[in-house]
Amino acid sequence: MDTGWKIGGQTLKSRLFVGSARYPSPDLMAQAIRASMAEVVTVSLRRESAANKAGQRFWQLIRDIGINVLPNTAGCKSVEEAVTTAEMAREVFETNWIKLEVIGDDYTLQPDVFKLVEASAILNDKGFIVFPYTTEDLVVARELIATGCNILMPWGAPIGSGQGLNNISALKTLRARFPDINLLVDAGLGAPSHAAQAMELGFDGVLLNTAISEAGDPVSMARAFAHAVEAGYLAANAGIMPERDFAQPSTPEIGTPFWKTEINS
């Protein structure tokens, strides 16, 4: 059983991070977050500004749940915009955590990795704990780590696509090359099996939103993802059997079958 893991200066039991957008209602969002057993929720400053009274009920719900807030810079397209948003988020949400997003393409919402590295360097220097939303590129990961990041959040697939893990080989490489870095698959997961697969690869956690918020029953789906993440983690640590090119019998070929021994005894 997972007794906890350390990330961003916190010790958590759940390895599932969830988003807070696109739910049919705030109350259903709160129910789903509780059902997920997540201890971290991402929040967009642009939608939940403290100066905007429309966001006050949302913020109160988050406080009532008693969950860690991971503000994000969703929608930012420049270094300056991302840094400014992060600084505002630190003041509003009273946390040094920031999920850094710098979008480079409107169609795929792929991160602009050049601006991401630049913004990461600035924010690390300012004392933020940066959770960069990045691609699965090995060299980009190395550059982000060089700026001071000890957490990386490579995408599984484009945000909201539900495609799962599009580049398993590259994700495996990240895990192998950076064993001491917290790695979370962020974006593109559409089914609990996708989350379990990410955990089976040895990732430390997953972050998702749309797969829960747009499900027919968000509460049940949140519960399903919680179990999938736990199952994948347990499987990875138990030692998953290797794939083989040929069949291997599961019963002995030599000697007396166990049931014959029991019948004759």
Burial 6-33, CB ≥16 within 10 A → b, else e: ebbeeebebbbbbbbbebeeeeebbbbb
CB atoms within 10 A of CB 193: 14
CA distances 261 to 17, 251, 257, 265, Å, are 51, 14, 7, 6
Determine the Cα–Cα distance for residues 41 and 129; give it in Å rounded to an integer: 15
Per annotation, catalytic residue among 13, 99, 172, 260: 99
Any catalytic annotation for residue 99? yes
Residue of 154, 240, 159, 160 whose CA lies nearest to 196? 240
Asked if 220 contacts 254 with a C-beta cutoff of 8 angstroms, the reply is no
CA distances 239 to 72, 174, 230, 234, 247, Å, are 35, 19, 14, 9, 19
Just list the catalytic residues: 99
